[in-house]
Amino acid sequence: MTDSRLAIVVLAAGSGTRMKSALPKVLHPIAGVPMIGHVLSAAAALHPARTLVVVRHERDTVVAAVEELTEGVEIVDQDEVSGTGRAVEVALEALGDFDGDVVVVSGDVPLLDAQTIADVIDRHRAASGAATIVSADITDPSGYGRVVRDESGSVVRIVEHNDASDHELAITETNSGTYVFDAAHLSTALAAVGTHNAQGEKYLTDVIEFMTAAGSAVLAVTAAEPWIVAGVNDKVQLSEVAARLNAMIVRGHQLNGVTIDDPATTWIDRAVTIEADAHILPGTFLHGATAIASGAVVGPDTTLRDTEVGAGATVTRTDATLAVIEAEATVGPFSFLRPGTVLGRSGKIGAFVETKNSQIGEGSKIPHLSYVGDTTVGVQSNIGAGTITANYDGVKKHRTEVGSHVRTGSHNVFVAPVRIGDGAYTAAGTTVRKDVPAGNLSLSLAPQKNIAGWVENNRPGTAAAQAAERANDLDNGE
Ligand code: UD1
Ligand code: CA
């Protein structure tokens, strides 16, 4: 399985200045994965003998992320000499006597796929040259290095944007920053490269001119589509690349049978799973490890993070994190499901309801205007409109337990810890401070008292007093 003649070097040491961000460039996420994670996945799919990641800027943060994303990569520290050439040189030192093909990719080219790299490796091996460059035809090549060819079409060198002549700036064949090198040729060429350029850096791109001048064969293979090798240097490009990847992910789900009404406003992370015949409505964001089963309808205007939605469930205008919504359940509109919410089969969490760390049993309903936290509800119970679980005593959180087939009245407060037994009822407006045994009715209301004539006596002359007077006159038959 392992390709013993293949090493992959991922460049991630640059400072990413143009991102203007405290977060290292290669850790900016697209589709829920840091950019470098996409690159490392593509690299892993090629089964190289060695994978090296070159780091320097924000080293520890980048290393921690890389180690979380993948196993078996070697970290190489770039020294104070700057530039992509120096980055590859330190990787070559770490590679020791490895003498196969070295693929160099940048951590900021997240759409590059394994197939594209595999094709270039094949081309490189067939030609047995010193280097094969992946190039891209870009209508606005501003910022990219340009591939300079001679009259016969052979590659001569790569010139960086800042070092290019007007004539060279007109070239639209750009260097994608992905290459396959013969290790020995690369090592010889890098030793000869200096830092005499606009940025005073050691450019990897300068090895090409050294190689062609020495008579070694260098190929440039144009990528099938320029976006495959698009690099991210600023946040404009970050959003463009994210949109492109999202479009591909959405399309993939559609081709698998998921109904997605509006790809432009549907954002789906790479790890999300959706079964055929689920239906995703506009304005929906599916993040992390969210999983949606067949027949579920999600959206519009819904954000789910690491949330499971069962078959046939409906989730409308909802924000949910680390929640489980079982089959045939309904959620929304305007529901807020916080971590640890589990809604049982055919259950309901309705409008303006917030839940947290609560297990709501099969067929149980919290239909309106409630906060339910740290609560267990049995099966087939109904929680009245406007219910609050008072779960926090100012120091600790406590649980509320509601049994099965319970009917609680509107505008209740459950002061936790408290338990309401199976089949119990509570009256409207009850503040439940003591456990309610099974089958009891709980009331905490003082008897209602009406004081006759209060408004006319205490608010004389007001519109209310006049309205009351008219009503009383009618009652008295005047
Ligand atoms: C580079 C290429 C350019 C190409 C473009 C494609 C060079 C000199 N230029 O330019 O020809 O068109 O990519 O996207 O190679 N890095 C290090 N160490 C460093 C500097 C950079 O590891 O000292 C890493 C960065 O983290 C990044 C990658 O190398 O992942 C590319 O660096 P960047 O500064 O983005 O190069 P570009 O200006 O885009
Ligand atoms: Ca770049």
Phi first, then psi: give them for residue 282, nearest 5 degrees. Answer: -60, 155
- The Å distance, Cα 456 to ligand 2 centre, comes to 79
Nearest atom in ligand 1 to 199's CA: 8
From the CB of 144, is ligand 1 less than 6 Å away? yes
Looking at residue 477, what is its pLDDT?
A: 77
Residue 15 counted as domain residue = yes
Burial 283-305 (b: 16+ CB within 10 A, else e): bbbbbbebbbbbbbbbbbbbbbb
Residue 161 counted as domain residue = yes
Domain count, the chain: 2
Domain boundary among 164, 196, 229: 229
Residue 424 counted as domain residue = no
pLDDT, tens digit (0-9, with 9 covering 90-100), for 368-421: 999 999 999 999 999 999 999 999 999 999 999 999 999 999 999 999 999 999
The one catalytic residue in 161, 368, 398, 411 is 368
Is 287 catalytic? The answer is no
Residue 456 counted as domain residue = no
**Together in a domain, 257 and 223:** no
**Together in a domain, 273 and 176:** no
Segments forming the whole domain that contains residue 81: 3-229
**Together in a domain, 295 and 181:** no
From the CB of 310, is ligand 1 less than 6 Å away? no
**Together in a domain, 218 and 257:** no
Q: In CATH, what number is assigned to the domain containing residue 362?
A: 2.160.10.10
Looking at residue 157, what is its pLDDT?
A: 97
**Together in a domain, 280 and 336:** yes
**Residue that the structure tokens 């320029």 belong to:** 226
**Together in a domain, 25 and 132:** yes
Residue in 15, 54, 84, 133 to alter for ligand 1 test, most ligand atoms within 8 A of Cβ: 84
From the CB of 155, is ligand 1 less than 6 Å away? no
pLDDT, tens digit (0-9, with 9 covering 90-100), for 62-80: 999 999 999 999 999 999 9
Residue 475 counted as domain residue = no
Looking at residue 196, what is its pLDDT?
A: 87
Domain boundary among 380, 402, 424: 402
Cα angle for residues 409, 414, 416 (degrees, 5° grid): 160
Looking at residue 446, what is its pLDDT?
A: 80
| Mean pLDDT of each 10-residue bin along the chain, 478 residues long | 96 95 97 98 98 97 97 96 96 96 97 96 96 95 96 97 96 97 97 90 97 97 94 96 98 98 98 98 98 98 99 98 98 98 98 98 98 98 98 95 98 98 97 98 89 96 96 85
Looking at residue 475, what is its pLDDT?
A: 84
Name which of 255, 272, 254 is nearest 263 in CA terms.
254
Residue 368 counted as domain residue = yes
Residue 155 counted as domain residue = yes
Q: In CATH, what number is assigned to the domain containing residue 9?
A: 3.90.550.10
**Together in a domain, 203 and 318:** no
From the CB of 203, is ligand 1 less than 6 Å away? yes
**Together in a domain, 223 and 343:** no
Residue in 38, 106, 135, 233 to alter for ligand 1 test, most ligand atoms within 8 A of Cβ: 106
Give the ligand whose atoms come closest to the C-alpha of residue 9.
Answer: 1
**Together in a domain, 390 and 292:** yes
- The Å distance, Cα 29 to ligand 2 centre, comes to 16
Looking at residue 478, what is its pLDDT?
A: 67
**Together in a domain, 205 and 263:** no
Domain boundary among 402, 430, 447: 402
**Together in a domain, 16 and 103:** yes
Residue 283 counted as domain residue = yes
**Together in a domain, 308 and 225:** no
Nearest atom in ligand 1 to 83's CA: 23
